[in-house]
């Protein structure tokens, strides 16, 4: 029999009445992710999603990687299915792991049976299969306490399954069960991680990037699209809204006191993001803000920035250390792209002495000379909406 994947459900199993809806969404997400890799049968039984390749030309490695990045799954394993009898299970284990057992010093068999009509108990089945494997591999001892390798046997409704140790899945909740949010995506380290973390909670992600050409280059824009593409590995496809931001930044530079530049700019970003969010049915904004990291991320500054909008602002990184954020960025594969040196629009108009403890009244006074509505309308009129998928060609 072919190799198949077993994906164990995560938090979904704790859901009550709407569990079915979560499961359907998950199955739909997995099917969509597997499309580029050939034909797969995807079905869900007993809190487990089964992924069975159909036909010989399915790309198993690609499909495996895809399954590992789908939210809603806690662990994944590759296994072989066989008939539900001791001989078939032994033969399958031997064919699958015989070579492995020649290279390790000890092993054990661990069995589970959700099909209670199976004649042997889990312990008896483990002993039977373990005994036969030990006989076939005299150099490898059975060690039930500290085995170097574990062979797992699961006797389930449709078949028996033999597999090695499971690997962690992507965790979280299935994309789409938690609504949709608009993520402010810069070219930095933080915002792609923030987008990933909110997506992980079952939220569909759209992105907005504020682009200040020619102060920032076309390459900076490509970098942001590439980061969005990398996040899509987990979140599924998204739309990136590119907002022309130069006019707004120049107006702020020309008409406002320098120490408030960043704060005023950030209030414009939030307001424009909110309008795009409402157009696209997003119920929240997401930023990579992090308490105390820079002058615009003090509690006082965040209060002033947040006041510009009424949608909830999710800041999943707010209480993390940079090191923790970097660890996630490396794990999800965005770090290398984030540290490419192209300028971000915020670095172009950075004040020498930014205000770290602003009050709302000060900032509102500072931004008074600006033709707010007009500037926002112009920026919105120039928005470019770009669909991005993980399987698109790289942007850099
Ligand atoms: P990042 O690493 O995400 O760039 P940062 O630590 O550099 O974050 P800031 O530059 O102050 O912090 O930006 C804070 C947040 O504002 C970012 O995490 C992002 O969500 C948003 N942001 C900043 N610049 C832009 C931009 N040009 N386009 C869209 N969002 C932006
Ligand atoms: Mg930044």
d(CA 8, CA 25): 15
Q: How confident is the model at residue 117 (pLDDT cuts 50, 70, 90)?
A: very high
Residue with tokens 């797992």: 152
d(CA 276, CA 247): 18
Quick one: pLDDT at residue 18? 85
Q: From 197, 272, 288, 349, give the residue whose CB has the most ligand 1 atoms within 8 Å, as the site to mutate.
A: 288
Q: How far is CA 300 from the centre of its chain?
A: 31
Residue 24: how many other CB atoms lie within 10 Å:
13
Q: Which atom of ligand 1 is nearest to the CA of 193?
A: 3
Q: What digits encode the pLDDT tens for the residues 42-85? A: 999 888 999 999 988 899 999 999 999 999 999 999 999 999 99
Quick one: pLDDT at residue 17? 82
Average of per-residue pLDDT across 18-45: 93
93 Cα: distance to centroid of ligand 1 (angstroms): 51
190 Cα: distance to centroid of ligand 1 (angstroms): 7
pLDDT > 70? residue 302: yes
**What stretches of 35-185 adopt beta strand conformation (E)?**
40-45, 48-53, 73-82, 106-113, 141-142, 149-155, 160-163, 167-171, 180-184
Q: How confident is the model at residue 280 (pLDDT cuts 50, 70, 90)?
A: very high
240 Cα: distance to centroid of ligand 2 (angstroms): 17
Burial of 158-190, coded b for 16+ CB within 10 Å and e otherwise, reads ebbbbbeebeebbebbbbbbbebbbbbbbbbbb
Residue with tokens 């010093």: 105
- The pair of structure tokens assigned to 65 is 């990687």
Quick one: pLDDT at residue 348? 63
pLDDT > 90? residue 110: yes
Top pLDDT among 295 and 368 is at: 368
């Amino acid at each position: 029999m072919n190799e198949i994947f077993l994906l164990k459900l995560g938090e979904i199993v704790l859901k009550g009445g709407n569990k079915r809806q979560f499961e359907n969404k998950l199955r739909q997400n997995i099917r969509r992710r597997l499309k580029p890799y050939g034909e797969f049968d995807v079905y869900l039984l007993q809190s487990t999603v089964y992924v069975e390749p159909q036909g010989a030309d399915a790309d198993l490695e690609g499909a495996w990687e895809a399954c590992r990045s789908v939210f809603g799954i806690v662990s994944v394993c590759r296994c072989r299915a066989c008939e539900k009898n001791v001989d078939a299970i032994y033969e399958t284990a031997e064919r699958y792991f015989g070579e492995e057992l020649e290279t390790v010093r000890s092993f054990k068999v661990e069995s589970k049976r959700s099909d209670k009509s199976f004649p042997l108990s889990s312990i008896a089945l483990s002993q039977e299969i373990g005994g036969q494997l030990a006989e076939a591999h005299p150099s490898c001892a059975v060690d039930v306490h500290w085995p170097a390798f574990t062979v797992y046997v699961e006797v389930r409704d449709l078949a028996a399954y033999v597999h090695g140790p499971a690997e962690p899945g992507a965790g979280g909740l299935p994309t789409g069960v938690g609504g949709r949010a608009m993520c402010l995506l810069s070219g930095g380290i933080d915002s792609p991680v923030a987008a990933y973390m909110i997506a992980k909670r079952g939220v569909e992600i759209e992105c907005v990037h504020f682009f200040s050409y020619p102060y920032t280059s076309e390459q900076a824009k490509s970098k942001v699209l590439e980061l969005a593409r990398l996040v899509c590995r987990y979140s599924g496809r998204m739309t990136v809204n590119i907002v022309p931001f130069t006019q707004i930044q120049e107006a702020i530079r020309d008409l406002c006191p320098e120490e408030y530049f960043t704060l005023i700019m950030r209030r414009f970003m939030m307001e424009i993001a909110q309008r795009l969010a409402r157009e696209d049915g997003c119920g929240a904004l997401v930023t990579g803000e992090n308490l105390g990291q820079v002058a615009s991320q003090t509690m006082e500054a965040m209060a002033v920035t947040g006041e510009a909008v009424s949608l909830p602002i999710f800041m999943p990184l707010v209480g993390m250390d940079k090191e923790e954020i970097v660890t996630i960025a490396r794990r999800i594969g965005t770090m290398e792209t984030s540290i490419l040196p192209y300028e971000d629009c915020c670095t172009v108009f950075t004040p020498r002495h930014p205000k770290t403890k602003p009050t709302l009244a000060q900032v509102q006074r500072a931004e008074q000379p600006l033709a707010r509505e007009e500037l926002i309308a112009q920026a919105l009129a120039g928005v470019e909406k770009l669909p991005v998928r993980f399987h698109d060609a790289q942007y850099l």
